[in-house]
């Protein structure tokens, strides 16, 4: 029997994402000047105020206020009428030194024996549903908001947009778990104030359906475009006007959008957030590593859908175990347990090995903090950082290394594909 599945996304101007981006900008700046930095940084944003808190062990001193303001301005909170803007908001820092009790469990004389920064379980997921091996509902939700942000910055076709926004896509699937059509699309976008509410709300709805959605649709391959039918139910700003938004409308905190950050409710989640954590925290690094495994396994043809779990004890390098679920889509004539055993032999999942394999001790994290950490495009870029002493560093870094399909041939060889 057909069924519906829904995923949501939030824009870079959503208050929780503002907090995530500030936290990850701090991570990047610490790693740029001291790659061995240990950082766990949380951010709170509210009306006219940013609060930074957390623990740091680093050789570098940073102007955290300037870093936070630069992020806020880049996102687009630059006007006093937003009641939160990068030039005038207060920034309070309560960051202090990392506990030596935690640090002793992570650092080792032999770097390869580096212990996990915490206990817990992490999940990676991949599916053949899309070209980037992500669930379709989440992929479309992200695309809608990325295109909405592009329209806002162009300020041509739509001139009233403000930074805060949310999207949601519901897809109908058939008995074979293949998408049949898009059932509903929700877009809630912050906008400038206006005098005539009914007329403006009608214009916003028309612009979203006739300008935004066609731009998103044009980026997709024909078989996905075919899912956009005249029967789609649209809910555009369903509560009415949305002028008060961002941190003024809703307090934002680091780590509150973990499902948006991962797989939109598909697969599973261990509960740990990513942003604000250096790669010694396996909440982040092992989640990237399991995504890397799952994506390469699906691309290699081991299965059409794969979930990978890994678990750790704090201070212990070797994982407690690796679990694999192929949802009955395995193509290799092995049980999921046998597949997991083979994967354990292909991928070294000790924290130090993950850091080295995925090049995680580089300033690559601010880019992850909006529109999902998974399903993004691997690329090399140059990034420049400045410290309070006037020193500037320009580094070439690799973004989204966990999205590389660099283990496909090895997996095929091991599985005899």
Residues annotated in the binding site for L-methionine, as ranges?
55, 98, 250, 281
Burial class for 7, CB neighbours closer than 10 Å (0-12, 13-18, 19+): buried
Residues 6+ apart with CB under 8 A from 22: 43, 45, 50, 52, 67, 68, 71, 72, 254
Q: Give the residue numbers of the binding site for Mg(2+).
A: 16
Q: Give the residue numbers of the binding site for K(+).
A: 42
Supply the DSSP string of 282-325, one letter for each residue: HHHHHHHHHHHHHHHHHHHTSBSEEEEEEEE-BT-SS-SEEEEE
Task: List, edge to edge, every strand of the sheet that includes 161-173.
Answer: 3-10, 161-173, 179-191, 233-236
Distances (CA, A) of 396 to 28, 117, 177, 225, 277: 13, 27, 41, 36, 21
Residues 6+ apart with CB under 8 A from 377: 132, 400, 403
Tally of CB atoms within 10 A around 230: 4
Compute the distance between CA of residue 218 and CA of residue 225 in angstroms, rounded to an integer. Answer: 8
**Spacing of C-alpha 99 from chain mean position:** 27
Supply the DSSP string of 215-262, one letter for each residue: HHHTTS-HHHHTT--TT-EEEESTTS---S-HHHHS-EETT--HHHHT
Q: Give the residue numbers of the binding site for ATP.
A: 14, 164-166, 241-242, 250, 256-257, 273, 277
Compute the distance between CA of residue 342 and CA of residue 296 in angstroms, rounded to an integer. Answer: 14
Record the tokens describing residue 339, joined without a space: 């597949």
Q: Give the residue numbers of the binding site.
A: 14, 16, 42, 55, 98, 164-166, 241-242, 250, 256-257, 273, 277, 281
Compute the distance between CA of residue 73 and CA of residue 338 in angstroms, rounded to an integer. Answer: 50
């Amino acid at each position: 029997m057909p069924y519906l599945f829904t995923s949501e996304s939030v824009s870079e101007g959503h208050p929780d994402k503002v907090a995530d981006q500030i936290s990850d900008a701090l991570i990047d700046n610490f790693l740029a000047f001291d790659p061995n930095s240990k950082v766990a940084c949380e951010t709170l944003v509210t009306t006219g105020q940013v609060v930074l808190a957390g623990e740091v062990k680093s050789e570098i001193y940073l102007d955290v206020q300037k870093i936070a303001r630069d992020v806020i301005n880049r996102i687009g909170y630059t006007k006093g009428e937003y009641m939160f803007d990068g030039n005038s908001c207060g920034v309070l820092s309560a960051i202090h030194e990392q506990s030596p009790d935690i640090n002793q469990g992570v650092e080792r004389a032999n770097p390869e024996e580096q212990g996990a920064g915490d206990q817990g379980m992490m999940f990676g997921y991949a599916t053949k549903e899309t070209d980037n091996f992500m669930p379709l509902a989440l992929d479309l939700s992200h695309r809608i908001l990325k295109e909405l942000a592009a329209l806002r910055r162009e300020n041509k076709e739509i001139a009233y947009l403000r930074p805060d926004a949310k999207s949601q896509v519901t897809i109908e699937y058939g008995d074979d778990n293949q998408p049949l059509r898009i059932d509903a699309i929700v877009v809630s976008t912050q906008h400038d104030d206006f005098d005539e509410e009914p007329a403006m709300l009608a214009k916003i709805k028309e612009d979203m359906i006739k300008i935004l959605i066609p731009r998103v649709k044009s980026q997709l391959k024909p078989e996905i475009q075919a899912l956009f039918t005249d029967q789609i139910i649209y809910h555009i700003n369903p509560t009415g006007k949305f002028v008060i938004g961002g941190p003024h409308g809703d307090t934002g905190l680091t780590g509150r959008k973990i499902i948006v950050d991962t797989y939109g409710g598909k697969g599973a989640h261990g509960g740990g957030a990513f942003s604000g954590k250096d790669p010694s925290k396996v909440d982040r690094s092992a989640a990237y590593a399991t995504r890397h495994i799952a994506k390469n396994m699906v691309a290699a043809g081991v299965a059409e859908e794969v979930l990978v779990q890994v678990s750790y004890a704090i201070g212990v390098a070797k994982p407690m175990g690796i679990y694999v679920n192929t949802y009955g889509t395995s193509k290799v004539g092995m049980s999921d347990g046998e597949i997991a055993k083979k994967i354990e032999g292909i991928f070294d999942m000790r924290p130090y090995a993950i850091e080295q394999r995925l090049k995680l001790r580089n300033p690559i994290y601010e880019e992850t903090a909006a529109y999902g950490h998974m399903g993004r495009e691997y690329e090399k870029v140059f990034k420049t950082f400045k410290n309070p002493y006037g020193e500037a560093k320009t580094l070439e870094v690799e973004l989204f290394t966990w999205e590389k399909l660099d283990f496909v041939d090895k997996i095929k060889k091991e599985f005899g594909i």
